[in-house]
A and B are shown apart, each in its own frame.
Chain A
Amino acid sequence: MSEPTDQSLIRNFSIVAHIDHGKSTLADRLISYCGGLSDREMSEQVLDNMDIEKERGITIKAQTVRLEYPAKDGKTYILNLMDTPGHVDFAYEVSRSLSACEGSILVVDASQGVEAQTLANVYQAIEHDHEIVTVLNKIDLPAAEPDRVKQQIEDVIGLDTSDAVECSAKSGIGIPDVLEAIALRLPPPSQQDPDAPLKAMLVDAWYDTYMGVVVLFRVIEGTIKKGMRIRTMNTGASYTVDKVGTFLPKPTDVKSIGPGEIGFFTGSIKEVADAAVGDTITEDKRPTPVALDGFKPAQPVVFCGIFPVDAADFEDLRAAMGRLRLNDASFSYEMETSAALGFGFRCGFLGLLHLEIIQERLEREFDLDLITTAPSVVYTLAMRDGTEIQLHNPADMPDVMQIDHIQEPWIKATIMTPDDHLGGILKLCQDRRGVQTTLNYINGRAMVEYELPLNEVVFDFYDRLKSVSKGYASFDYQAIGLKEGDLVKMSILVNGDPVDALSMLVHRGNAESRGRQMCERLKDLIPRHLFKIPIQAAIGGKVIARETIAAMRKDVTAKCYGGDASRKRKLLDKQKKGKKKMRQFGRVEIPQEAFIAALKMDDS
């Protein structure tokens, strides 16, 4: 690519869709149609290359591929497909990816229709002034109802569907039509000067075993070249570009990349944290005068403690977290000590899915057994002395007398459901302190919007939603800021001692029922001891729920004679091994499983 690309032939686009509506399959089809990979090289769903991404059908890191499409008008277009993370946890990353494109393909399953995620994602694309090509996928399924779904798209989203493209990514039907629509209906990037000072947006960065940190960028103006000394304007770091290239989808080196184009570079960047998403890349000696706006450093919103089941694994856990952090700057961790769980880490995540992904990767890729404490959001404590404290861990809550009020993050949740499950969903949202803002019916489906405190959502909301709707409801959310809440710290006391790992901030109105649940659960999970054990839930000094584990009455071997002495001793050795799995709490031994089960507490 020594000749600069004709900017009028560039089309930068992303694909927005609800999970399982066929986004990745369509992307694969587009790549193979344009000859990016031979069939032999085409592993299924090229773009989602992490195991977990494949399994969950989600995209975590932005990926890109550059396609050359010879259109029917005789011109060859450059199509830069940007595959964006589809989940709200990565909303900021999504917004950066979208701002690197001029258009989007909206993929909707022709039988399932519009879902909550479809809405959230398409609205984002519209906010970025994207031109949108509507694609109905899975058109060949017997249950497909393209006309109904088109009507729904018009009613719910307000998009004109008269020129919607019908296709089946799986069977390869309609793929040329999709490509033709991209080339002819999506706009090119605005014409910019390739000789202007470099201004490019850092779209994403990841760690590659062979190449080191790889930075994905979109050039706004100017040109990025191999050997150029560049600088990131927000973090202020500078690097020499070792390699510039594009993904075809295999990384392929080029000499330079000019305005409107998407590509990658590598330099001697140590870790991904040094390459912040949304930052502006410019030339070190000839910088652009104004950085791009919209840059935000990654801000974790959900926190939890992660502890090794076996204390001996602590160093391994630390190393594993370091490795993950190399590739995921939005994940943060710092050491935490819990009386109940020993040494571990307090970790911050972009959201619940992000938390689950990290936890799963730690367990799977690093083979660690972990205990994860109940997720908590970040509370803003306005203190009486006028200062503000960001509280990540309920155990760190200061004396209530010093607190003026507590603010908690709220979200706007969008839920779409067949209307027969609506009752259960409304009750769930109501129970979680939700405030209904919208309720619409469109052809037998309901769309409901609620404002909800995030701390009610991180507490198994999604599992409950799936169960009350038998899996039919779809859900998405966006942060809407802080609101003051009547929140209290609930402690759990076992035999009079507070168990730090079990304390949580709850709304005063829910405290009693939450406390009772926790006490009842623990009563079944902690084995009988030689003495009776009170289990209490308390707010400050006030006990709000109590259960008692009765003392063990009889535990003795009936017969013990000459031949039994060895047997008793061996039993003791066995108990010794079992004891490793217990956590000593004052005089009470709590089995590891009890913590895991109590923290996984559901509402049922």
Chain B
Amino acid sequence: MSSQIIPNRIMEGASAPLAIYIHWPYCARICPYCDFNVYKRKEDTALLPAILRDLEHWRELTGSRTITSIHFGGGTPSLMSPVQVGAIIDKVADLWTFYAPEIALEANPHEMSAADWRGYRDAGLTRMSLGIQTFHDPALKFLGRDHDGTTAQSALDLALDIFPSVSADIIFGWAGQTPRMLADDLRRALDAGTQHISTYQLTIEDGTAFAKAEGRGQARAVNTDLSADLYDLVRDTLIDAGFEHYEVSNFAKPSHRSRHNLAYWQGLDYVGVGPGAHGRVTQNNKRTATIAHLTPGAYARAVTETGAGIDSREVLSASDWASEYLLMGLRIDEGISLRRYHEILGEDLNEIELNALVEDGLLTRADDNLKATSHGRLLLNAVTERLLLA
């Protein structure tokens, strides 16, 4: 049914695309701005077998599907050995059908190892996402990173040497950063030949060390007007360099977009395996959200006892599903299908609000397609709030 609406995107059935997310929660140390589900590294022999077994359970849930991506995130998945990574890729290949999948892994520059990375490549990895953050040494120290600028540079060069597609994470908006420092970071990533850049504004999340520091009156992030200037700088620089601004915080050379992340933004299905991982599965026109057991111990125990790592499972209401589709879809340059939105919710967006936002230059609409303008993308929280709460 949905295939008629979006001819080139099959949402359900054996040929519907499926993305696989593997969460490896361990880190060598915890960064002061991070609010992810992460744990200090320790010897854990139970986690890999649990992940492999959990994947089998997911296969039962999703049925036969076409795998378009596998993403190793964390935590620090580069703490896994090539053998461990290979075991997971092989397991996925056994369970589902591969369709030239993107297989990516997040890594930290200071843990670079030519041998391991080549091992990943041999195991099937096609892409590496490197947590460069900045090349500026004092800032790296301030951000609590374990590497320096030189290490970042060599890790980037090494990754580009090994993998066909490399993404660099750059953080901006840390207190004390000047536009010049940011321009310099971008220039170094571009000069190395990086094909994909994710630029994240430093945000202060509750419960982090940075939140505590700000609570004491010590600024860790810049104010919003300056961060808007920095954002403009990133955009102008990368577009000049031939990148496409395809998502709020993501820029890619043609054909280097993150297929895995696009699955999230396009509202496709994804498997979430590993402690605390989130998943979404659409079946019989119902979308189910899953969350795996949060701690590695609880996760492994659940898999051992029940064969599955899922802790909670919620069938999304039509309005929650539609909200997610819109919240995620307006982040990307392709936008959303208004028909698809209607199909999920059974009603249309508020026409008055929609037209007002178009008139203000925040959204554009062409037939079935609704997307945020680049100005609108910068104000997306307010835009979606207006659309969904109108």
Contacts and interface: CB of A to CB of B under 8 A. Distances in A.
Asked if A pairs with B, the answer is yes
Nearest to A566: B289
Interface stretch (B55-63, B81-89, B118-126, B375-383): B375-383
A558 B200 contact: yes
A559 interface: yes
Given A530-B379, A553-B228, A560 B331 contact: yes
Contact of B272 (A562, A568, A572, A587): A562
28 contacts: A530-B360, A530-B383, A531-B360, A552-B382, A554-B225, A555-B224, A555-B378, A555-B381, A555-B382, A556-B377, A556-B379, A557-B248, A558-B203, A558-B249, A560-B248, A560-B331, A562-B270, A562-B272, A562-B278, A563-B277, A565-B278, A565-B280, A568-B324, A569-B320, A569-B327, A572-B323, A575-B389, A587-B356
Nearest to B352: A587
A553 B222 CA distance: 14
Interface string A519-558: 0000000000111000000000000000000001111111
Interface string B368-390: 00000000011111111110110
Contacts of B201: 558
A579 interface: yes
Given A568-B324, A569-B323, A576-B389, A556 B203 contact: no
Contacts of B378: 553-556
A565 B249 contact: no
A554 B378 CA distance: 5
Contact of A554 (B227, B249, B324): B227
A561 interface: yes
Given A530-B357, A552-B379, A560-B327, 9 more contacts: A529-B382, A553-B228, A554-B228, A560-B264, A561-B264, A562-B279, A563-B272, A575-B389, A587-B356
B388 A572 contact: yes
A554 B278 contact: no
Contacts of A572: 323, 327, 384-385, 388-389
Interface in A83-101: none
A569 B249 CA distance: 19
| Shortest beta-carbon contacts, A-B, top 5 | A553-B228, A554-B228, A563-B278, A556-B380, A558-B201
A156 B225 CA distance: 63
B328 A565 contact: yes
Contacts of A554: 224-225, 227-228, 231, 378-379
A587 B353 CA distance: 9
Interface of B: 21, 200-201, 203, 224-225, 227-228, 231, 248-249, 261, 264-265, 270, 272, 276-280, 289, 291, 320, 323-324, 327-328, 331, 356-357, 360, 362, 377-386, 388-389
Interface residues of A, number: 24
Given A552-B379, A552-B382, A558 B248 contact: yes
A585 to B, nearest CB: 14
Nearest to B171: A558
Contacts of B327: 560, 565, 568-569, 572
Nearest to B377: A556
Nearest to B314: A566
A144 B385 CA distance: 66
Contacts of A569: 320, 323-324, 327
Contacts of A576: 389
B234 to A, nearest CB: 11
Contact of A559 (B200, B291, B328, B382): B200
Contacts of B357: 530
Contacts of A530: 357, 360, 362, 379, 382-383, 386
Contact of A556 (B272, B381, B388): B381
B379 A555 contact: yes
Contacts of B203: 557-558
B200 A560 contact: no
A561 B389 contact: no
B237 to A, nearest CB: 17
Contacts of A553: 224-225, 228, 378-379
A584 to B, nearest CB: 10
B225 A555 contact: no
A572 B322 CA distance: 12
B227 A565 contact: no
A553 B278 CA distance: 31
A588 to B, nearest CB: 12
A516 B43 CA distance: 67
Nearest to A579: B389
Given A554-B224, A555-B381, A556-B378, A566 B278 contact: yes
B225 A565 contact: no
A361 to B, nearest CB: 36
A62 B388 CA distance: 57
Nearest to B325: A565
A559 B357 CA distance: 23
Nearest to A563: B278
Contacts of B382: 529-530, 552, 555
A297 B378 CA distance: 63
A530 B385 CA distance: 11
A546 B225 CA distance: 23
Contacts of B320: 569
Contacts of B261: 561
Given A552-B379, A553-B378, A556-B381, A562 B264 contact: yes
